[in-house]
Amino acid sequence: MGEQKSMTIKGNMATAMGAKLCRPNVIPAYPITPSTLFPEKMSEFVADGELDASMINVESEHSAMSACIGAAATGARVCTASASQGVALMHEMLFIASGMRLPMVMAVGNRALSAPINIWCDHQDTVASKDSGWLQFYAENNQEGLDLMINAFRIGEDKRVLLPVMVGIDAFVLTHTIEGVDVPAQEDVDDFLPPYEPPHGKLDPKEPATFGSFGTPEYYQEFKQAQVEAIEGSRDVIDEVFEEYEEMFGREYNKATPYYCDDAEIVLITMGSMTGTAREAVKKLRKEGKKVGLIKLTVFRPFPSPELKEILSGVKGVAVIDRNISPGAYGAMYSDLAAAYTNEKEKPILKNFITGLGGREIFVKNFEEMYEMTKKAVDTGNLGKPVEWINVNEDVLR
């Protein structure tokens, strides 16, 4: 094993270095705040001769994803990056990438969607793509951003999966923030991630085939079933790959990671960078003798219902903290967790909190507040509003 190199880098640099270690062949990308540093760095790596890849400058994110699909169909290893409106513009092509079963990895700088225009962090961009058939991972910090990129290639390219993967890093909070990161040695990543050879055929003029063909009503549904079986099957692959990564590189990853959950009455569930602040809140509440725990959701697609239910067994109340909202319904994590519990007899009280939209800060005191509200619902049986908004600016009149 080579030595891991410790350095201080921004989140975008972490995902770029993670991608570079995976030796991508083609990188079609279109810059957008807050992800711009990713294509800039990949261009630099290519221009400096550190990475042997084709950088394709395109005229839009729709074109970027189209080029990703074309390149991936030839069997190339492909990565890109985007955010917010860029991911939204790709939306049409995202379904084609997954439907054609083309593994690729996209680093997303999770950012709010317009209108009003906002360049700051929330998860609406990727959550709006949760039904596109991509796997979705969310990083808590820059180290996770780098590690998850490497894991994403390995998992997506597994012949039991063959699906594209998004790795979300929060806008500014991670993309533009410098943190200490351990970078694995190239030869070890080479061992972990063998070259990709598509088992299901590739676009090659010497062996002509039709790609992206018609799927009539007689067959379309079965193709979709097969695709869903693949993402369902990815559950075991994710566990295997995370375990192997931990053995090789010493850092543990889980679909859902518990913190102080063993004897907890109330558990907070978070995704992305807010997890760190939530952990501070749990530490503080534990000092006060409160029985509170935390679950960090790293894998949002496939949604880890079995793991969550196992961790939450015996828990009385769950605060599901969504940095996104499906207007007219709930936050995405809440909907999925509530559905997972529908037919269970024993289940905790679930409360849905929406916060952190468009870069709104989520402070330690806000997590304490969400804990208290959930505890109150458990103690009194008064569940409160179906969706609670947290850290609302009282100076804004509506």
Partner 1 sequence: MTVKITIGAINKKAGSSKEYKTGGWRTMCPKVDLEKCISCYKCYDYCPDGAIKKIEEGIEYDLDYCKGCGICANECPVKAIVMVKEEK
Partner 2 sequence: MSFGVNGEEIMYEVRFHGRGGQGAVTAANTLADAAFREGKDVQAFPMFGVERRGAPVAAFTRIDEQPIDIKTQIYEPDVVVVLDISLLDVIDVTKGLKDDGKIILNSAKDPSEFDFDGAEVYTVDATTIAVDNGLGTETNPIVNTSILGAYSRVVGNVELESIFEAITDNVPVKIENNQQAAKDAYDNVKGV
| Under rule CB under 8 A, residue 233 binds partner 2 | no
* C-alpha to C-alpha distance for 56 and 181, rounded to whole angstroms: 28
- Residue 49 binds which of partner 2, partner 1, none (CB < 5-8 A, kind-dependent): none
| Under rule CB under 8 A, residue 398 binds partner 1 | yes
Cβ neighbourhood burial of 217 (10 Å; 0-12, 13-18, 19+): exposed
- Residue 177 binds which of partner 1, partner 2, none (CB < 5-8 A, kind-dependent): partner 2
* Site stretch for partner 2 (CB under 8 A), options 41-49, 175-183, 298-306, 372-380: 175-183
Note the helical H segments in 250-331. 274-287, 305-311
| Under rule CB under 8 A, residue 391 binds partner 2 | no
- Residue 6 binds which of partner 1, partner 2, none (CB < 5-8 A, kind-dependent): partner 2
Q: Given candidates 49, 116, 205, 208, which one binds partner 1 under the rule CB under 8 A?
A: 116
- Residue 280 binds which of partner 2, partner 1, none (CB < 5-8 A, kind-dependent): partner 2
Q: Which residues pair with 320 in a beta bridge?
A: 269, 352
* C-alpha to C-alpha distance for 119 and 147, rounded to whole angstroms: 25
Structure tokens at 145: 């951003």
Q: How far apart are the first and last CA of the chain?
A: 59
Least distance in angstroms from the C-beta of 394 to partner 1:
9
What residues contact 182, with CB distance under 8 A and at least 6 apart?
4, 5, 6, 143, 251
**Residue carrying the six token digits 């690729």:** 104
User: Radius of gyration over alpha carbons of the chain, in Å?
Assistant: 21
DSSP assignment of 176-208: T-EEEEEE--HHHHHHHSPPP--TT----TTS-
Least distance in angstroms from the C-beta of 354 to partner 1:
17
| Under rule CB under 8 A, residue 6 binds partner 2 | yes
Asked whether 55 and 14 are in contact (CB, 8 A), the reply is: no
Choose between 68 and 173: whose C-beta lies nearer to partner 2.
173
| Under rule CB under 8 A, residue 217 binds partner 1 | no
Least distance in angstroms from the C-beta of 398 to partner 1:
6
**What is the 3 state secondary structure string of 141-164?**
CHHHHHHHHHHHHHHHHCCCCCCC
Q: Given candidates 361, 379, 384, 389, which one binds partner 2 under the rule CB under 8 A?
A: 361
| Under rule CB under 8 A, residue 194 binds partner 1 | no
| Under rule CB under 8 A, residue 180 binds partner 2 | yes
Least distance in angstroms from the C-beta of 90 to partner 1:
25
| Under rule CB under 8 A, residue 176 binds partner 2 | yes
CA angle in degrees (0–180, nearest 5) for 210-212-215: 100
* C-alpha to C-alpha distance for 291 and 229, rounded to whole angstroms: 38
Rule CB under 8 A: which of 281-300 touch partner 2?
283, 287
- Residue 178 binds which of partner 2, partner 1, none (CB < 5-8 A, kind-dependent): partner 2
- Residue 179 binds which of partner 2, partner 1, none (CB < 5-8 A, kind-dependent): partner 2
Task: Tell me, rounded to whole angstroms, the distance of Cα 45 from its chain centroid.
Answer: 25
| Under rule CB under 8 A, residue 288 binds partner 1 | no
- Residue 287 binds which of partner 1, partner 2, none (CB < 5-8 A, kind-dependent): partner 2
| Under rule CB under 8 A, residue 371 binds partner 2 | no
388 φ/ψ angles, rounded to the nearest 5 degrees:
-105, 135
Q: Given candidates 6, 115, 210, 213, which one binds partner 1 under the rule CB under 8 A?
A: 115
* C-alpha to C-alpha distance for 90 and 260, rounded to whole angstroms: 39
- Residue 172 binds which of partner 1, partner 2, none (CB < 5-8 A, kind-dependent): partner 2
* Cα–Cα nearest to 192, from 232, 133, 152: 152
Asked whether 156 and 63 are in contact (CB, 8 A), the reply is: no
Structure tokens at 255: 């679909």
- Residue 115 binds which of partner 2, partner 1, none (CB < 5-8 A, kind-dependent): partner 1
Q: Give the residues lining the site for partner 2 (CB under 8 A).
A: 6-8, 119-120, 170, 172-173, 176-180, 273-277, 279-280, 283, 287, 359, 361-364
Q: Give the residues lining the site for partner 1 (CB under 8 A).
A: 115-116, 395-398
